[in-house]
Amino acid sequence: MVEIYPTQAVQNHSIFGDISSLGHEQVVFCQDEPTGLKAIIAIHNTVLGPALGGTRMWQYTSDQEAITDVLRLSRGMTFKAAISGLNIGGGKAVIIGDARKMKSEAFLRRFGRFIESLGGRYITAEDVNMNTRDMEYISMETDHVTGLHESKGGGGDPSPVTAYGTYLGMKAAAKKVYGTDSLVGKKIAVQGVGQVGGHLVERLVKENARVFITDISEERLAQIHKTSGAIVVGQDEIYDIDMDIYAPCALGATINDNTIGRLRCQVIAGAANNQLLDEHKHGQMLIDKGIIYAPDFLINAGGLINVYAEYLGGYKREVAYQQAENIYHTCMDILDKSAAENIPSQQAAIKLAEKRIADMGKVKMSY
């Protein structure tokens, strides 16, 4: 699931050009002949603290594609941590290759040693095609890993916390539009009922919203339909249905030239990363259409909040939930800023994140 990214996309393909245009501090290329490991670790910004972000394994079609992915994902992590008030920076790692064939104890532990060599500037966690077992192998070589299984003292699956934050962001956006954050009777379309989408549907149904769901997995769709009673709609039909709220919880870039004209909702609030194909253009198109957009990297930060709570030590799930509650108020502040300055909410969120980094950078200058 390689996401398609917004505009400040990497355009020139000189590596230093890419790194400087996106503002990275350090990019590390890791290669190990015996295990076949090829990985890239990108540290975007460490003003707030060490760079935290998951490791994704993917069969990239070119090295450039892997570089582009890791650079953009790590930048996103910086904003996500900053806007969530966490004292960590943004980083990400990608491993190039087929996760089903290449992963082994030696492969993962070798990767762990590369992480260890960074002395704590980068902390890893799970992402696409990586699981808690993989994190365990990595943790045999480095302490700079979080997102371990509960049985190993970790925080376990972060998706319930992500779903909770997304739900609160959705409520904040609803309050802005309808004057109340109650979702009772609201027609809400959830695209993708995987880990996060499934938990979100559960909360929405509990609140007596009218929930519509779609997924490419028939099995998953049937399962969630059975447990929640949500109404199943087609994969493409979801863009056209009569709905109040659209919740993308599957893929990035579903808000684009082809879909905005079709959407009949007043709010977009979902967990998927990089929902706007083009941050600026499509953010503005949503304003023009009167749709309130809850910034994705803010409202899906529950997962990061959860692994951060684990990283701090003495993990307690209720502490993660408590911290995720800030998402509601931050989302309100951002939507107010977006309206006051007449800028897309995603831009307002980035500005707020950048301001926190700049302010904290100054705080740290004094001894």
Catalytic residues: 92
Describe the strand order of the beta sheet including 267-268 as a list of residue ranges. 231-232, 210-214, 187-191, 245-248, 267-268, 292-293
Region binding ligand NAD by CB under 6 A among candidate stretches 56-64, 191-199, 326-334, 341-349: 191-199
Considering CB under 6 A, how many residues would be counted as binding ligand NAD?
24
Distance CA 257, CA 278 (A): 9
Output 54 or 110, the one with its CB closest to ligand NAD.
Answer: 54
Q: Which is nearer to ligand NAD, 78 or 191 (CB)?
A: 191
Site string for ligand NAD, 257-296 (x = CB under 6 A): --------------xxx-----------------------
Cα angle 229, 233, 235 (rounded to 5 degrees) comes to 135
Helix, strand or coil for residue 367?
coil
The reply on whether position 162 binds ligand NAD by CB under 6 A is yes
Which of these, 249, 250, 251, 231, lies nearest to 241 by C-alpha position? 231
Q: At 359, list the tokens.
A: 């302010």
**Does position 208 bind ligand NAD by CB under 6 A?**
no
Binding mask 214-243 for ligand NAD (x = CB under 6 A): xxxx--x--------------x--------
| Interacting residue with ligand NAD among 76, 197, 283, 344 (CB under 6 A) | 197
Amino acid, single-letter form, for residue 153: G
* Identity of the residue, 118 or 247, whose beta carbon is nearer to ligand NAD in the bound complex: 247
d(CA 116, CA 121): 9
Bridge partners, 245 (sequence order): 188, 267
Question: Which C-beta is closer to ligand NAD: that of 37 or that of 350?
Answer: 350
Q: Contacting ligand NAD (CB under 6 A), which of 8, 195, 223, 256? A: 195
Whole-angstrom distance between the N-terminal and C-terminal Cα of the chain?
Answer: 44
Least distance (Å) between residue 196 CB and ligand NAD: 4
Q: What does each C-alpha distance from 172 to 183, 302, 303, 320 come to in angstroms?
A: 10, 15, 19, 19
Closest to 135 measured CA to CA, from 127, 101, 59: 127
- Of 80 and 171, nearer to ligand NAD (C-beta) is 80
* Given 54, 76, 91, 303, the residue binding ligand NAD (CB under 6 A): 303
| Binding letters toward ligand NAD, positions 120-159, x by CB under 6 A | --------------------------------------xx
State which residue has the least CB distance to ligand NAD: 194
Question: Measured from the CB atom, is 88 or 272 closer to ligand NAD?
Answer: 272
Sequence-separated (6 or more) residues with CB below 8 Å from residue 144:
50, 115, 116, 118, 120, 122, 123, 124
Strand pairing class (55-58; 37-45): unpaired
Residues, the chain? 367
Residues forming contacts to ligand NAD in the complex (CB under 6 A) are: 158-159, 162, 191-197, 214-217, 220, 235, 249-251, 271-273, 300, 303
